[in-house]
A and B are shown apart, each in its own frame.
With several copies, the nearest count.
Chain A
């Protein structure tokens, strides 16, 4: 009885009496003797709060976070500034501690937030229906595949190599389960090879899956690429970076049936990769096939406006093996963070931020391209991230630049062996011109040192 529990010895006695047993052990007798552990867990004893704090601080200090290193790494998660009001609101107990809103009358706060969030994501993507969020980006792609199979009764996905490697890999993992084939289409100068895509799509294709800006940062012509999907009755699924949707044509206007993506850039910190959320929007036609929670508007018995979980008949707790998805606990708090961030940015700020990213990215791209030993990996248009090639081993260059307090970018080699010399560089509003200039300088120096064989 310490810290988080309250049963005093007196309480225990009274409670055991009421139950009619003489010890708690008796209650555990339903566990057959051989299955009882019979020894303490081999874990350390409890610690005082300040000791736990010190222990975890000490671990945290062994990480080079974006406070310690200037972070040009992106690849789906970005070092955006999360406004202080996001933390202030998401840390309120009333949002932090409830369960999924199964009792709507006492969950109007959370439900209205979902409704507002759905509206925002619908606005961003240009599609009429949004859910209240999924786990994160890549698994949302896999969920879109599952939806497409259900919608088309087909089992084949045509996926651009520009789609995030984690998304492609996750899709492949899931596809083994729900038994679908995944066909990949290559890139040309950073963009999906349109001819190859058209050739790959056929009457058995459930979905064409694109990403824009794609993993190499290039802005795809989604409408043009998507034509092949339309032609063969496949769904067009578009993964996108929400932070670019203030300036880029929304997927909904490009013919997408589903637009989804990693939500982290909106109001969520990096957190070494999670928790964040995935957003998932679709056409009206798919509303009853959507995965995840959806809040809907309704009225109470007195006619007051209110919100509830709508269309629950899609979900596992009602439909069980026939559910449109197995998701239950999702990422409500993270979606709240996104909503607050979006409200804070507002209609103008959101567009301005998109413009700012494009301008600084264009500058950085030009600046880096001018560095000896650095060249562009592709010349296609980009929004907030771009790829370069280094004339020296990428890992070694990154180590050298790290010494100067800079995380220069994401090395492409593991996931794109064809770009073993490639580096993906991301820009946020936190990356100042001075930092970009310093990156250029540091990259140049590091490449030069590697070429000259100087020991680091």
Chain B
């Protein structure tokens, strides 16, 4: 019997609403226990809802089946290689999930009196200290909820810092390789972006930087940089860049998405950065959850410290022979204020602190080393054979923890777009690299293997690329029509935006 579809393809998508049947239910609730009154005696009729929301009606066994089956329509890090550049898809230890689930963490109310939440506050303080040491900047706020939130925080801190000095500045510099969140944060923080060009080795083009600083003299609030940057290149001029920005009175912001390259090897604070965000869901092993949660703590220098968000976790020395205690400090007169409710994504802090404890200082440093080793090895493998010819490295030098290839020759010679290669990789059981980013590189493929991959996985990936390029020489349509074996085949993304259907009609 010939296969026309895979079993998953044959199973067409049906939402849980389509499996609903009136009268079914999973939840059984406790009885009220108390004397009940008519609802309208308690809340005026006009504020009450006439019809309950049309949530699905379905018993527990079928809910479990629905989501279990759905889950298998995802590719995940625990199934295979996931070299998604800039995303640091490293192993997510289950130990971290276990400790985050301890009732003392998971069922702790965020408004619990600090005197009755000493363990949580100490953990946060210990994480602050650890991140401060890793970043080389002494003051840490854990409040931001992700990298982009950290960026916004950093820019608001910059604004507050300048305002405190009686200055108002309007421009923020960012290289053309920067991540989309950088310019978006700039706008949200009320600044204007000024793009800085990239030089021939992948770093900041120094002349352009000087020119932009001159053009915007007195206006530049900040330079946002990723280092190593999104090309996987460590900017060797960073000390000079820092000096230039500082001379202009600006702050230097470090987008910490790539911190996984340099932990224990080089510290943003030592490079001259004033503000750093750390993506705990990248370097510090918080699972990505299919798009979060994460956390984006920020570490800052002394001069920025007074402006940190409120409340701040502080340690107070004990008196009368008592040990130290921990508290939330709300009285921070120069603070930019809150960025969110309560104290931040505490569950993420538990996981990341468990990760730091597990690896220790040496382990973190080794992790970065292996991340860099793995990236350079895979780069070397992909410099061979067909990949070397069709997918040249964008900036030919040793990389840090990731590297960027250009699919331009592949497109020109084989008629295969980077997207086609990515889709064909799906048939080989790999998650593709990040594609079409950074924008600077035509038909970009951004590859970040991370330290937790085996050499065997890297080799298999390189072989798959080679095979795809080889088969494309015979038949480029093979890739152009890929994928074939995924739960659904290539999807029409344009339609979804042109005629958006964003909920189930009921």
Contact = CB atoms under 8 A, between A and B. Distances in A.
User: A and B: direct contact (Cβ < 8 Å)?
Assistant: yes
A410 interface: yes
B338 interface: yes
B30 A334 contact: no
A115, A306, A345 interface centre (most CB from chain B within 10 Å): A306
Contacts of A407: 109, 112, 116
Contacts of A41: 133-134, 263-264, 361-362, 364-365
Contacts of B60: 3-4, 85, 344
A53 B152 CA distance: 34
B104, B309, B330, B502 interface centre (most CB from chain A within 10 Å): B502
Contact of A45 (B61, B293, B360, B455): B360
A179 interface: yes
Given A31-B266, A63-B105, A300-B489, A130 B502 contact: yes
A167 to B, nearest CB: 7
A334 B87 CA distance: 19
A182 to B, nearest CB: 11
Contacts of B55: 120, 123, 342-343, 345-347, 350
Interface string A5-17: 1111111101110
Nearest to A365: B42
A104 interface: yes
Interface string B338-376: 111111111110100110111111111111011011101
Contact of B112 (A64, A174, A249): A64
Contacts of A12: 373
Given A65-B104, A173-B339, A1 B23 contact: yes
B492 to A, nearest CB: 5
Interface string B226-262: 0000000110101100000000000000000000001
A166 B340 contact: yes
Contact of B30 (A48, A115, A137, A269): A48
Contacts of A306: 13, 488, 491
Chain B interface category by residue count = 35 or more
Interface in A14-54: 14-16, 18-21, 24, 26-32, 34-37, 40-53
Given A37-B264, A120-B55, A329-B292, A270 B106 contact: yes
Contact of A108 (B49, B356, B487): B487
Contacts of B46: 221, 223, 249
B44 to A, nearest CB: 6
A89 B26 CA distance: 15
A319 interface: yes
Interface string B84-121: 10010111111111111111111111111100111110
Given A95-B289, A247-B43, A5 B267 contact: no
A450 B370 CA distance: 59
A380 to B, nearest CB: 10
B26 A3 contact: yes
Contacts of A345: 26-27, 55
A48 to B, nearest CB: 4
B27, B47, B71, B98 interface centre (most CB from chain A within 10 Å): B27
B32 interface: yes
Contact of B15 (A104, A119, A178): A119
Given A49-B358, A51-B30, A223-B46, 14 more contacts: A45-B362, A76-B341, A85-B63, A98-B288, A109-B72, A112-B13, A136-B340, A275-B145, A295-B502, A307-B13, A320-B183, A328-B179, A347-B54, A348-B52
24 contacts: A6-B61, A19-B373, A27-B372, A37-B270, A47-B358, A52-B354, A63-B104, A63-B119, A71-B109, A93-B79, A119-B17, A120-B55, A219-B47, A295-B502, A296-B496, A297-B501, A304-B12, A322-B187, A325-B184, A326-B188, A330-B292, A340-B63, A346-B26, A436-B34
